[in-house]
Amino acid sequence: MKVYFNNIKSLCLKRKIKKIFDCALKECPIEYKAFSVYLTLVNKEKIQELNNKFRNINKSTDVLSFPNLELNKGENFNYKEMIKEINPGDGLINLGDIIICDSIAKEQAKILGHSYKREICFLAIHGFLHLLGYDHINNDDEIEMNMLTDNILNKYNIRRN
């Protein structure tokens, strides 16, 4: 698993995010694990622009995910069918992009009473699970996704408070 970071300077935060992504892959029933992901921090204006362009919602949000593959809750896919998706530069299949709004993450961390690092990790794993096919359209799916998110964050001692 390779994570390409944009606009994240903290080496500690990069390591935490990489570990929680690796943990998420272990929790999911995907046998093939040679993936890459792009994670970018942006400002409110940029995330609003992306949200409007791709979701027709003209307001800022905390995190957006743009999957390259159509996975359903981390189910396996036929690797041989995905061979065309392998990036010759790194030999990995790109799962997609995660875009996090830095200023909204800071605001939410303050409102929720936990650290900025915890909020970025929460948003990163939330976005990553979307790339793996998880969603929160209905209540049961939201409960499942939130439990998985909390379990992964707790394994790395990234607590709410």
All structural domains of the chain: 2-155 (3.40.390.30)
- The CB density around residue 10, as the number of other CB atoms within 10 Å, is 13
Report the predicted TM-score, pTM, of the whole model to 2 decimal places.
0.89
pLDDT for the residue 90:
85
Q: Is the pLDDT confidence value at 44 over 90?
A: yes
Q: Is the pLDDT confidence value at 69 over 90?
A: no
Average pLDDT, the chain: 88
* 58 exposure class (CB count in 10 Å sphere: 0-12, 13-18, 19+): exposed
Provide the pLDDT confidence category of residue 155 given band limits of 50, 70 and 90: confident
pLDDT digits (tens, 9 = 90+) for 77-105: 666 667 777 888 888 888 999 999 999 99
In order, the DSSP letters of the chain are -EEEEES---HHHHHHHHHHHHHHHHHTT-S---EEEEEEEE-HHHHHHHHHHHHS--S--SEEEEESS--STT----GGGGGGGB-TTTS-EEEEEEEEEHHHHHHHHHHHTS-HHHHHHHHHHHHHHHHTT---SSHHHHHHHHHHHHHHHHHTT----
pLDDT for the residue 80:
64
Q: Is the pLDDT confidence value at 132 over 90?
A: no
pLDDT for the residue 75:
61
Position with higher pLDDT, 100 vs 145: 100
pLDDT digits (tens, 9 = 90+) for 99-129: 999 999 999 999 999 999 999 999 999 999 9
